[in-house]
Amino acid sequence: MTHLTRCVEMSDDGVLDPGHFHLDEKSFRFCCQSFLQHSDLLSDGWSWTEVKGSEGFMKKTVLRPRRNSPLKTEALDFMTEEEKVEEEEEEDAQVECEKQDVVVYEYHVLYSSSYQVPVLYFTASTLDGRLLSLEEVWNSVHPDCRTQLLNEPWNTLTQQEHPVLGQPFFMLHPCRTEEFMQPILETARREKRRINYVVTWLSVVGPMVRLVVPVSYCTVPDQNRV
Amino acid sequence: MADDKDVLRDVWFGRIPTCFTLYPDEVTEREAEPFYLLLPRVSYLTLVTDKVKKHFLKVVKTEDVGEMWFEYEGTPLKWHYPIGVLFDLHASNTALPWSVTVHFKAFPERDILHCSSSSVIEAHFMSSIKEADALKHKGQVINDMQKKDHKQLWMGLQNADKFDQFWAMNRKLMEYPTEEGGFRYIPFRIYQTMSDRPFIQKLFRPVSPEGHVLTLGDLLKEMFPAAICQDDEPKKYQVVIHGIEPLFETPIQWLSEHLSHPDNFLHICIIPSPSD
C-alpha cells in the first residue's frame, strides 16, 4: 500500500467517521509524507526530522522582513486591499536591510497525542540570533487573524517547551483545532471531496503566524483524490 | 476511604527546604546572605520566589537586573515543571536544604521559558489541566466548567492553604464512569536526566482490553523497561513520585487520582540508583 492511498484511506476510516474530527498518529505521518512530496515538487522547503524511538516532525525555515504593528492598534484593518499589497511589496523590498529587520522563522509541525491533532510550533529570531519575545510575536500576528488572539491571548499563542527538543518554542494552542476542523471536514464529506488533514489545517492556522500554504497543495488532483 | 483523602493532603502540603544563594559573579554592592524558604512541591519556582527576588535585589546593581532565573549545579531549572519534579529529578539523594543558585543576568533563553508575570504561569498551568482533561475525558469536564471555576483551580494553587477550595473543583476532573474503571487515558510524563528528550508522554489506558487493572509496573514495562530490574541484578534506577518510590503493583488509575500534581499530570522521575 502506498503512502498516498493510506492518506486517502484515513479520510474514510478516521475523518469520515461521524463525530470524530481528529487524526490518529499513523494518518498524521501519511498526511505529512504526502505533504512533503508536494513540497519537494514546489521546492517549498519542508523537510521531515526523524526522532529516535519516537514520532518525528515536519520542519521549514523562512526568512522574512519584520512586520510589527502593535496588537492594540488595528491601523492595518482600515487599509484597502491594494494598500495592503503595496505595504507587503514594500516590506519585500526591504529584505536586504539591517539584521534586525529580518526575522528567521523556523516552523515545526508536530503531532499531539493528547489532542489527536497536529500542532504548530515555531521560533522567530533576528539574524544575529536574538529570539523574539512573546509580545513581539503577538504584535507580528497578521491583523486579519487577531480576533482570537485579542480575546484570549494566553489560550492562543504562548511560549512552550518543544516536546521533542526540550527548548522554548512558540505554540499555537491545539485545544480549538478539532472545533474549527469539524465544519471543514463535514463539508468535504458532503461534497465527497478527499482532503489532506494536515494541508487543510495548516492553511487555516499558518497565515496567523505568517506561514502561507500555497493553494496547489489543495488542488493537486493526485494528492487529494483517488 | 479516609486514608486516601490523607494522601491528597500529604501531597498538597509537601515542602522542600531550600537555600537560595546569589550567583557569585553578580554580587556587587555588599555580600548577599543566603535566603531560606520552604517550597511547596506542587507549586512553581517563579510563583513562590517573590521574597527571594526582593532579598537579592537589595545587593544587586540595578543596571544588572534582568529576568530572574534559577540553576542547580550548572543546570538551569525549568520553572514550568512543578518544584517537586525539579527536586526529585536533579537533587534526590542529596543533603537538604536544596541549594539553588539565583541569577539576574544572562537569561538562558534557549533552555528555559520566559516568565515575565504570573499570567504566564497561569496560562501554563491551565493549558496543562486542559491537556490532561483532553486525555481523561476528551476535554468535556474542563470545557463544561465556567471561567470562575478555572479561576478557582488557579487561585487554589496560588495559596497553599486553599487545599479545600482547590479540591472542591479538582474533584470533578478526577471523576470517571464506574463501569469503565478509570480515565480514558492516564495523563503522565516520565522524566529522566540522561535523556535527550525532555520527557516521555504517550497514550496509556488504566485498564487493559481484557479488563485487567494496569499498574505502575505495566506502564514502565511499556515506556521505560530498563526501570524494572530482574531479580538477580542490582537495582539501576529509582522511580520517584513526590519524593517516594511507589510499589510497581500500585494501580496506575489510583496513582493518577492521588499522586498527580495540581496540573492533573502524574509526573514520574526516573533517576539512577545511588551507588553506595
Give, rounded to a whole angstrom, the gap between the first and last alpha carbons of chain A. Answer: 13
A89: enclosing H helix or E strand: helix A81-93
**Which of chain A's residues have a Cβ under 8 Å away from the Cβ of B187?**
114
Q: Which of residues 43-62 of B touch A (CB under 8 A)?
A: none
Q: Which residues of A touch B (CB under 8 A)?
A: 51-52, 54, 113-115, 131, 133-134, 154-155, 158-168, 173, 175
**Three-state DSSP state, B109:** coil
Of A115, A168, A175, nearest to B113 by CB-CB distance is A168
In this structure, the answer to whether residues B124 and B137 fall within a common structural domain is yes
Q: Give the residue from chain A lying closest to B78, CA to CA.
A: A161
Write out the three cell numbers for B88.
Answer: 526529585
Residue A218 designated active-site: no
Cα–Cα distance between A101 and A83 in angstroms, integer?
21
The reported pLDDT for the residue numbered A20 is 64
The residue among B156, B175, B194 that closes a domain is B175
DSSP B188-231: EEEEETT-SSS-B-----SB-TTSPBPBHHHHHHHH-GGGS--T
Domain-embedded: residue B32: yes
The reply to whether B231 and B188 lie within a common domain is yes
Closest by Cα among A141, A161, A136 to A151: A141
Residue by residue, pLDDT tens for chain B (276 residues) are 457 889 999 999 999 999 999 998 876 667 889 999 999 999 999 999 999 999 999 888 888 789 999 999 999 999 999 999 999 999 999 999 999 999 999 999 999 999 999 999 999 999 999 999 999 999 999 999 999 999 999 999 998 789 999 999 999 999 999 999 999 999 999 999 888 889 999 999 999 999 999 999 999 999 999 998 877 788 899 999 999 999 999 999 999 999 999 999 999 999 999 876
Residue B9 lies in a domain: no
Q: Of B11 and A129, which is predicted with more confidence?
A: B11
Mean pLDDT of A128-145: 88
Task: Flag the least confident range among A35-49, A83-97, B123-137, B242-256.
Answer: A83-97
Range(s) of the domain holding residue B234: 178-276
CA distance B78 to B189: 15
Q: Is residue B253 part of a domain?
A: yes
The alpha-carbon gap from B141 to the nearest alpha carbon of chain A, in Å, equals 13
Q: What value of ipTM does the predicted structure carry? A: 0.93
Start-to-end CA distance of chain B, whole Å, equals 39
What's the domain count of chain B? Answer: 3
Three-state DSSP state, A82:
helix
Q: Give me the residue spans of the domains in chain A.
A: 3-224
Given A32, A97, A145, A175, the catalytic residue: A175
Chain B residues whose CB is inside 8 A of the A162 CB are 198
Are B199 and B158 within one domain? no
The reported pLDDT for the residue numbered A71 is: 55
For residue A160, give the chain B residue with the closest CA.
Answer: B113
The residue that leads in pLDDT, A7 or B56, is B56
Interface of B with A in 178-237 (CB under 8 A): 187, 196-199, 201-203
Count helices and strands in chain B by DSSP H and E runs = 9, 8
Last residue of a domain, one of B68, B103, B138: B103
What is d(CA B268, CA B245) in angstroms, rounded to the nearest whole number?
Answer: 10
Sign (positive or negative) of CA dihedral B32, B38, B41, B44: negative
Same domain, B19 and B83: yes
CATH number at residue B57: 3.10.20.620
* Residue B108 within any structural domain of the chain: no
Chain B residue at shortest CA distance from A155: B123
Q: Examine the pLDDT at A82 and tell me if it is beyond 70.
A: no
Give chain A's mean pLDDT.
78
Q: Which of B155, B175, B195 is the last residue of a domain?
A: B175
Residue B2 lies in a domain: no
* Cβ–Cβ below 8 Å for B127 and A168: no
Q: Answer yes or no: is B110 within a domain.
A: no
- What number of CA atoms fall less than 13 Å from residue B210's CA on the CB side? 2
Instruction: Report yes or no: B139 at the A interface, CB cutoff 8 Å.
Output: yes
Whole-number pLDDT of residue B166: 96
Spatial distance between the Cα atoms of B91 and B274, rounded to a whole number of angstroms: 11
Instruction: Report whether pLDDT(A193) > 60.
Output: yes
CATH number for the domain that contains residue B122 = 1.10.246.190
